[in-house]
């Protein structure tokens, strides 16, 4: 199957890296532990227990495991919400700005 045959929703402008790293999701003055599942230059997917809605603006912090490297800190918008069979919540985020 060629790239043109795939559904448009499957095409991505940026490579998405599969990761499994701890993160912190901040919204409305609250911090929630999160797990970053994938990351690209334009967005990410997090698993967290936060109660968010599509359109909410959040801040995401992903600490670096290396003291010589700065972690990722980004302002993002919730663009998709999913729920796992176990009640877990998944958030598709569009990165608005890196700090």
Query: What are 27-56's pLDDT values in tens digits?
Result: 999 999 999 999 998 999 999 999 999 999
In contact, 81 and 54? CB cutoff 8 Å: yes
Count CB neighbours of 18 within 10 A. Answer: 8
**56 lies in some domain:** yes
pLDDT (tens digit per residue) in 62-91: 998 888 888 899 999 999 999 988 888 999
Range of the domain at 28: 14-98
State the pLDDT at residue 20: 86
- What is the rounded CA–CA span in Å between residue 68 and residue 71? 10
In a domain, 6, yes or no: no
Number of domains in the chain: 1
CATH number of the structural domain spanning residue 45: 2.40.10.220
Q: What is the pTM of this model?
A: 0.79
Average pLDDT over residues 12-33: 84
Is residue 81 in some structural domain? yes
Residue 9 lies in a domain: no
């Amino acid at each position: 199957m060629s790239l043109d045959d795939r559904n448009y929703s499957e095409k991505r402008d940026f490579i998405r890296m599969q990761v499994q790293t701890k993160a912190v999701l901040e919204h409305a003055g609250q911090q929630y532990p999160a797990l970053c599942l994938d990351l690209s230059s334009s967005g990410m997917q997090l698993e967290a227990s936060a109660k968010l809605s599509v359109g909410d603006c959040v801040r995401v912090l992903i600490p670096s495991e290396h003291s010589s490297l700065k972690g990722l800190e980004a302002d993002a918008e919730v663009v998709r919400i999913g729920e796992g069979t176990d009640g877990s919540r998944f958030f598709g985020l569009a990165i608005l700005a890196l700090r």
